[in-house]
Structure 1
Amino acid sequence: MLVVLMENQLLSPSAVCQSCLMADQHGRPRWHHGELRCGRLLARMSEAQPEQYECQMGFRIANIE
Structure 2
Amino acid sequence: MFEDAAGDPVPVDVGQPSDGFPTQADAETWIGETWRDLLDAGVEQVRLLEDAHEVYGPMSLRPAE
Common fold by TM > 0.5: no
Alignment TM-score, normalising by the size of structure 2: 0.25
Alignment TM-score, normalising by the size of structure 1: 0.25
Bigger proportion of residues as strand: 1
